[in-house]
Amino acid sequence: MTTMPRRLPLTLALAALFALPAQAQSLVELYESARGFDASYQSARAQYEANLAKAAQTRAGLLPTANLAANAARTNQDNLSTGAEREFDTRTASVTASQPLYRPANLATAEQGDRQIEQARAQLQTAEQDLIVRVSQAYFDVLGAQDSLTFVQAQKAAVAEQLAAAKRNFEVGTATITDTREAQARYDLVLAQEIAAENDLRVKKLALDQLVGQTGTQPRPLALPATLPALQPEDVNTWVQQAGEGHPGVQQQRLALDIARLETRKAEAGHKPTLDLTASYGRTRFHNPVSTTTQPNTNTTTLGLAFNLPLFAGFATQNRVRETLALEDKARADLDATQRNVAQGTRSAFFGVQSGLGQVKALEAAEASSQSALDANKLGYQVGVRINIDVLNSQSQLYQTKRDLAKARYDVLVGGLKLRQANGTLKPGDLQAVNALLGK
């Protein structure tokens, strides 16, 4: 009698472990992965850092400036009258500094920099919201493609059973060849649908993998029965009001209007005087390598005020003011257009989610009705009061309803995120509510 090696159970356990499917990822996990990989979001973050540095440059006009200059030269002098020749070296060094005291244009530029920092934050917020929606859409696109493939395969199995039943009934003479041919035609159609569903799932997974920077991603499916969250608040005007207050797009246009007003102030400052505090210190040293005569060395210190008053610039300042006033009107019109578009987009997204919730309820009822209709047609076919095509049509209706129901649920979840994006309140924390609806 042979004995089993002791290492065999461990080997079987390891084989079973590696045979398990990869652990499914939640929506939040894939979003965090996309934040560190997605090229569009990384580009937006880099642009944000660049905008901050650019805005900080505008403060330079209010701060002092200092410069160091040095010079060394050798001079040869020939006196043509006496024939004397003189040669000496000159070395100079100076430090100059200037502090603006009154420069209204520089002050307006610095205030523009503060607005540009706020603009950069709003632009980054827009990129973050866009990433949330793109990841969520890709996530549920994969789940929808998986459901479609599952339902097509289930329909294929049901049609195969019906085809086998039709063949048996034809062989025993209780059904015509028409039932067999109808079932065969439906089976061939489902095979084509299965091929298309497999390819669609493959493409959707590749898109999700590329977005999050992983391979072989496996989203966690929606837990069933699913209870979708209702719209809170239920008043569309409340959502529109929130959009007017905090939408990053509206904020950017509002800040653009402030920057345009400050640009007008800068243009008007072309008529105003400027006043700077200046200081300098310089040292000059002379050296004659062939003469014993001591050359004088000088130190120079200067402290003063520099005043400048523009008198006439060929009407350039007046025309610049007219230009900035027109651009200010343009910025104001752009702000109005953005506010209207955001309000319209928020209303459309709100009613889309509201309609989606109604569709989910209707499709849930249709699913139950389609299942009852299929059961009744199967029973009728068995007793001879229904024909094979009735059963096949009922099967197609049931699985089509299941696909539509699954898609409607995903559309509601993504639509809720798009609604928050439309009114500008979408945050990464909103994914937690969706994440809670997924299976463990």
Q: Answer yes or no: do 338 and 262 share one domain.
A: yes
pLDDT recorded at residue 16: 37
Unique residue bearing structure tokens 């920099």: 113
The answer to whether residue 118 sits within a structural domain is yes
- The percentage of the chain sitting over the pLDDT mark of 90, rounded to a whole number, equals 70
Q: Mention every residue, 6+ apart, whose C-beta is less than 8 A from residue 419.
A: 231, 239, 346, 349, 350, 352, 353
Q: Residue 247: helix, strand or coil by DSSP?
A: coil
Query: Is 14 domain-assigned?
Result: no
Same domain, 81 and 59: no
Please count the structural domains in the chain: 2
Q: Which helix (H) or strand (E) holds 198?
A: helix 177-212
For position 434, what pLDDT does the model report? 93
- Torsion (CA) 253, 254, 259, 262 in degrees, nearest 10: 150
299 and 371 within one domain: no
Residues spanned by the domain of 390: 25-63+104-272+316-435
In terms of domains, do 211 and 170 share one?
yes
**The last residue of a domain, from among 284, 309, 334:** 309
Together in a domain, 410 and 332: yes
pLDDT band of 225, cuts 50, 70, 90: confident
Q: Are 123 and 252 in contact (CB under 8 A)?
A: yes
Q: Decide: 422 and 243 in contact? Cβ < 8 Å.
A: yes
pLDDT above 70: percentage of residues in the chain: 91
Residues 361 and 410 in one domain: yes
Does residue 138 sit in the same domain as residue 77? no
Looking at the fold, whether 76 and 180 belong to one and the same domain comes out as: no
266 shares a domain with 372 = yes
Q: What rounded mean pLDDT belongs to the chain?
A: 88
Residue 266 located in a structural domain:
yes
**Residue of 195, 203, 214 whose CA lies nearest to 149:** 195
pLDDT at 10: 41
**Pick from 311, 309, 327, 315: which is nearest to 262 by CA?**
327
Residue in 330, 342, 394 with CA at minimum distance from that of residue 162 = 394
Co-location of 293 and 152 in the same domain: no
pTM to 2 decimal places: 0.85
Does 341 lie in the same domain as 247?
A: yes
Domain-located, residue 11? no
Residue pair 248/126 in contact by the 8 Å Cβ criterion: yes
DSSP state of 221: P
**Residues 94 and 174 reside in one and the same domain:** no
Confidence of residue 7 (pLDDT cuts 50, 70, 90): very low
Tell me: the pLDDT tens digits for 76-135? 777 767 666 777 788 899 999 999 999 999 999 999 999 999 999 999 999 999 999 999
Residue 13 lies in a domain: no
CB atoms within 10 A of CB 226: 17
- Give 20 or 320, the one with higher predicted confidence: 320
Q: Which residue has the higher pLDDT, 378 or 256?
A: 256
- In the Cβ-directed half-sphere of 419, how many Cα atoms lie within 13 Å? 28
Could you give the CA distance from residue 351 to residue 227 in angstroms, rounded to a whole number? 19
Tell whether 19 is covered by a domain.
Answer: no
Residue 440 counted as domain residue? no
Instruction: Indicate which CATH number applies to the domain containing 371.
Output: 1.20.1600.10
Please write the tens of the pLDDT for every residue from 364-417.
999 999 999 999 988 887 887 777 788 888 888 999 999 999 999 999 999 999
Give domain status of residue 1, yes or no.
no
Distance CA 359, CA 365 (A): 10
Contact of 132 with 421, CB cutoff 8 Å: yes
